[in-house]
């Protein structure tokens, strides 16, 4: 009986959430560009996504302290979650100010029908008392979560994805980010004029 229980418990997450392997994301919807790239918590992790977007050729509007007024020229929103006291200090924000900004941004995104993607790539270092309120706030407003596995050992993000029916892509480390971005934001197909004759 105990063995059966363990098997059922182990199977539950698989049954309840649309988890997509990072190397098999064929079932993912794709997104239009440009994307607004912002932070929730002001950790430097947002710069990693910025750099990987540049490498993937994705057009972004990088606005680390974007507000509800910053979305008129974008077609989707990427939020990089994770708190940093140094980052908040540099942005001249405190935690409550940052949370309020993101709440308004998510509300505006919903009103405009803009999809929200959340990345959490900072791992264990971006979990805990400072980061988790930012992580939860961003993740609960997302339709897709891309999460480095070592930051979700306790299933924090998985549980949020299960509850909100958001899609969830686990990545093993930062090197997995660019492949996910390329899949989410495919390069537009160019048509080459056919040669005559």
Partner 1 sequence: MVVGGAHPNEPAGFIAAVVLIENLSVQRGRVIVLPRANASAFTATEPQEAFPGSFEIINRAGNPRTFRVGSRFSNILDGWPDPIIYRHYPSSQLLSGAETRNLNRAYPGRADGTMTEQVAYAIAEVVRREGVSLLCDMHEAAPEYPVINAIVGHERALDVAALAMVDLQAAGLDFRLEPSPPNFHGLVHRELGDYTNARVMLFESAGALQGRIRGVTDADLILRSQDPFYIRAAEVGKLQVPFPREGIPLEVRVGRHLQAIETVCKVLGELDPSSVVEFSRVPDYNELQTHGVGFYLQ
Binding residues (CB under 8 A) for partner 1: these are 44-45, 47-48, 50-52, 54-55, 84, 86-87, 89-90, 125, 173-175, 177
Q: Would you list the DSSP string of 111-173?
A: HHT--EEEEE-SGGGG-STTHHHHHHHHHHT-SEEEEEGGG-TT-HHHHHHHHHT-EEEEESS
Least distance to partner 1 from the beta carbon of 181, Å?
12
Taking the least distance from each CB to partner 1, the nearer of 44 and 68 is 44
Q: State how far Cα 29 lies from the chain centre.
A: 14
Dihedrals phi, psi of 36, to nearest 5 degrees: -80, 130
Location of structure tokens 């794709």: 30
Taking the least distance from each CB to partner 1, the nearer of 141 and 176 is 176
Taking the least distance from each CB to partner 1, the nearer of 87 and 141 is 87
Least distance to partner 1 from the beta carbon of 84, Å?
7
CA 45, CA 30: separation in Å to the nearest integer? 23
Q: How many CB atoms lie within 10 A of CB 131?
A: 22
Taking the least distance from each CB to partner 1, the nearer of 55 and 187 is 55
Taking the least distance from each CB to partner 1, the nearer of 6 and 90 is 90
Least distance to partner 1 from the beta carbon of 14, Å?
28
Instruction: Give the helix ranges, DSSP H, for 29-130.
Output: 45-56, 85-90, 95-112
Least distance to partner 1 from the beta carbon of 177, Å?
7
Least distance to partner 1 from the beta carbon of 67, Å?
21
């Amino acid at each position: 009986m105990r063995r059966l229980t363990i098997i059922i418990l182990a199977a539950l997450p698989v049954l309840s959430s649309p988890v997509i392997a990072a190397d098999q994301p064929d079932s993912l919807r794709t997104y239009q560009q440009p994307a607004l790239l912002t932070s929730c918590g002001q950790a430097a992790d947002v710069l990693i996504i910025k750099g990987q977007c540049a490498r993937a050729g994705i057009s972004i509007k990088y606005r680390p302290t974007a507000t509800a007024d910053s979305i008129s020229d974008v077609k989707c929103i990427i939020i990089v979650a994770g708190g940093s006291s140094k980052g908040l200090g540099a942005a001249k924000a405190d935690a409550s100010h940052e949370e309020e900004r993101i709440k308004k941004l998510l509300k505006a995104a919903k009103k405009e029908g803009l999809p929200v993607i959340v990345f959490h790539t900072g791992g264990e270092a971006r979990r805990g008392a400072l980061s988790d309120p930012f992580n939860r706030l961003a993740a609960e407003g997302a339709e897709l979560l891309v999460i480095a596995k070592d930051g979700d050992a306790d299933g924090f993000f998985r549980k949020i994805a299960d509850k909100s029916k958001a899609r969830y892509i686990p990545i093993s480390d930062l090197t997995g980010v660019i492949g996910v971005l390329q899949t989410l934001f495919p390069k537009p197909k160019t048509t080459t004029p056919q040669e005559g004759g």
